[in-house]
């Protein structure tokens, strides 16, 4: 796990967007794993600007999102399909037929998970998976206690997640209490993972995920077992890390970060 701390949120977002854009430039038909949440909105803003400026071409990209609320259709403003169209897909030259999210209205939940896994496999797997982290340490909607080898499936959300996300719903009680999510095992199969963590409210969970023990109680900690994960934080989110000096040293000295400093 590499850890990169940038002084401001804007710089952390910019670095994340550049890494994604560079993936697409190096492999135009790449498979991107995408995430939702407030943190990602700024990343997608940067990617939209880059696409409009002709700096990155998404025409051959295929995408797979991490998760979707069970019970919400694509036209529901709180569905993650709606979020992705609204924040990214409607504004870039991606072919929407190549964008995938679990179907929140699927009647056969077991089959939906199995089919989503098969679609990822048929596409050749995910080149780069973008991730945020929930207040309870989840990646996707892999809540505490999720198997670290889990695959895409239906999952009950925790009260912590419910409280974090219900503010986006009107009324708040209309938020679904279950979701489809890629499993931790699905995420660990990606060739590369980029986890973006910003803001002071994530400082404690960031430290537990990055420097604490690998545990299903903080599913993001499973990324410590992944051979090619970079965690990008702003200074506020990095406040409780103990090895900050080392992380800065690596960013300053590793040749591969030269063009990103
Ligand atoms: C949701 C998503 C997660 C995301 C999290 C963080 O719970 N399922 O994939 O990481 O939100 O959200 P935010 O960026 O709003 O803090």
Q: What is the pTM of this model?
A: 0.97
Q: Is the CB of 197 under 6 A from ligand 1?
A: no
Which atom from ligand 1 is nearest to the alpha carbon of 39?
A: 14
pLDDT tens per residue across all 261 residues of the chain: 999 999 999 999 999 999 999 999 999 999 999 999 999 999 999 999 999 999 999 999 999 999 999 999 999 999 999 999 999 999 999 999 999 999 999 999 999 999 999 999 999 999 999 999 999 999 999 999 999 999 999 999 999 999 999 999 999 999 999 999 999 999 999 999 999 999 999 999 999 999 999 999 999 999 999 999 999 999 999 999 999 999 999 999 999 999 999
The residue whose CB lies within 8 Å of the most ligand 1 atoms, and thus the one to mutate among 138, 180, 182, is 138
Q: Where are the alpha helices (DSSP H) in 28-158?
A: 38-52, 80-87, 109-122
CA atoms within 13 A on the CB side of 87: 21
The residue whose C-alpha atom lies closest to atom 6 belonging to ligand 1 is 134
In this predicted structure, what is the pLDDT of residue 108?
98
Q: Is the CB of 136 under 6 A from ligand 1?
A: no
Q: Burial, 1: exposed, middle or buried (Cβ in 10 Å; 0-12, 13-18, 19+)?
A: middle
Question: Cα(36) to centroid of ligand 1, in Å?
Answer: 6
DSSP-derived secondary structure letter, 161:
H
Order of all β-strands in the sheet with 2-6 = 2-6, 229-234, 192-197, 128-131, 31-34, 62-65, 99-100
For the annotated catalytic residues, the residue numbers are 67, 136, 138, 143
DSSP-derived secondary structure letter, 215:
B
Do residues 192 and 228 touch, judged by C-beta distance below 8 A?
yes
How far is Cα 261 from Cα 246, in angstroms, rounded to an integer? 16
Do residues 168 and 58 touch, judged by C-beta distance below 8 A?
no
Q: Give which of 248, 197, 70 is closest to 78, Cα–Cα.
A: 70
Distance of CA 23 to the CA centre of its chain: 15
Question: Cα(37) to centroid of ligand 1, in Å?
Answer: 4
Q: Is the CB of 182 under 6 A from ligand 1?
A: no
Question: Cα(133) to centroid of ligand 1, in Å?
Answer: 6
Q: Is the CB of 199 under 6 A from ligand 1?
A: no
Q: Give which of 232, 67, 36 is closest to 146, Cα–Cα.
A: 67
Question: Cα(102) to centroid of ligand 1, in Å?
Answer: 16
Q: Is the CB of 66 under 6 A from ligand 1?
A: yes
**35 phi, psi to nearest 5 deg:** -130, 165
Question: Cα(134) to centroid of ligand 1, in Å?
Answer: 5
CA distances (Å), origin 258, targets 6, 119, 252, 254: 14, 36, 8, 7
**216 phi, psi to nearest 5 deg:** -70, -10
Q: Give which of 33, 28, 9, 22 is closest to 189, Cα–Cα.
A: 33
The residue whose C-alpha atom lies closest to atom 11 belonging to ligand 1 is 37
């Amino acid at each position: 796990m590499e850890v990169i701390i940038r002084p401001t949120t804007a710089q952390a977002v910019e670095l994340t967007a550049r890494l994604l854009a560079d993936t697409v430039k190096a492999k135009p038909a790449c498979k991107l794993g995408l995430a939702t949440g407030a943190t990602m909105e700024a990343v997608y803003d940067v990617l939209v600007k880059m696409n409009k400026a002709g700096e990155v071409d998404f025409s051959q990209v295929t995408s797979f999102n991490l998760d979707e609320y069970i019970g919400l259709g694509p036209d529901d403003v709180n569905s993650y399909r709606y979020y992705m169209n609204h924040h990214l897909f409607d504004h870039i030259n991606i072919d929407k037929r190549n964008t995938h999210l679990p179907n929140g209205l699927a009647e056969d939940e077991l089959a939906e998970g199995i089919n989503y896994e098969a679609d990822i496999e048929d596409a050749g797997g995910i080149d780069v998976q973008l991730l945020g982290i929930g207040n309870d340490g989840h990646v996707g909607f892999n809540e505490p206690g999720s198997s670290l080898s889990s695959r895409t499936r239906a999952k009950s959300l925790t009260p912590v997640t419910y409280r974090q996300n219900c503010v986006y719903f009107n009324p708040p009680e209309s938020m679904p209490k279950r979701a489809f999510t890629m499993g931790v095992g699905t995420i660990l199969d990606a060739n590369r993972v980029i986890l973006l963590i910003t803001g002071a409210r994530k400082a404690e969970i960031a430290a537990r995920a990055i420097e604490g023990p690998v545990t299903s109680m903080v599913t993001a900690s499973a990324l410590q077992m992944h051979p090619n994960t970079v965690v990008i934080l702003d200074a506020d989110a990095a406040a409780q890390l103990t090895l900050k000096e080392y992380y800065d040293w690596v960013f300053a000295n590793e040749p591969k970060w030269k063009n990103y400093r």
